[in-house]
Amino acid sequence: MKKQAAKTIAPIKPIRTAEDYKAALALVAPYFDNEPEIDSDAGAHFEAMVTLIEAYEAKHYPITPPDPIEAILFRMEQQGLKPKDLEPMIGQLNRVYEVLNGKRKLTMAMVWRLHTGLGIPAESLIRQPGSVI
C-alpha cells in the first residue's frame, strides 16, 4: 500500500454565513474525488465537515415534501401506474379520480394503504395541499 504524504487539515469551524458555507464546500470538494479512509484524520475531518454542511443546508435550504396529490402522481409516473391501479388503496375508480383531482381528501385509511402499498412517505400524504411545513 502506498503511503500518502501528510496533509495539513484545516480546522473545523461553524458555518454561519453564506461565505462560510462556500468555504466549507471548497474544503470538502477534493475529498469527493479521493475519499479518505474512514478511520483516518482526513476521514474524520471529511465526516465532520459534511455534517456541518448538511446542518447548514437543512436550516437555510429546507426541502418541503410535495403535497399529497403531487406525491401520488409522481409515484404513479415512476412505477408506470394508471388510476385503476390505485383502486385497492383508494377505492372505486370514481373515488380515485376525485382524489387525484383534489375534489376528495384522503382518509387516514387511504394514507396508510398508499404509504404501505406504494412506499410514499406518510408525511407527504398527510400534508395539506399548499401548506408549508
- Cβ atoms of residues 89 and 118 within 8 Å: yes
Instruction: Tell me which of 30, 60, 90 is where a domain ends.
Output: 60
User: Domain span at residue 33?
Assistant: 18-60
Q: What pLDDT digit, counting tens, does each position of 9-60 carry? A: 888 899 999 999 999 999 999 988 888 898 998 899 999 999 999 999 999 9
pLDDT for res 93: 97
Instruction: Tell me which of 9, 34, 60 is where a domain ends.
Output: 60
Q: Provide the number of structural domains found in the chain.
A: 2
Whether the pLDDT of residue 5 is over 50: the answer is: no
- Cβ atoms of residues 70 and 127 within 8 Å: no
- Retrieve residue 46's grid coordinates: 471529511
Same domain, 51 and 84: no
**Mean pLDDT across 97-126:** 94
Same domain, 105 and 75: yes
CATH of the domain at 111: 1.10.260.40
pTM of the model: 0.55
Residue 25 falls inside a structural domain: yes
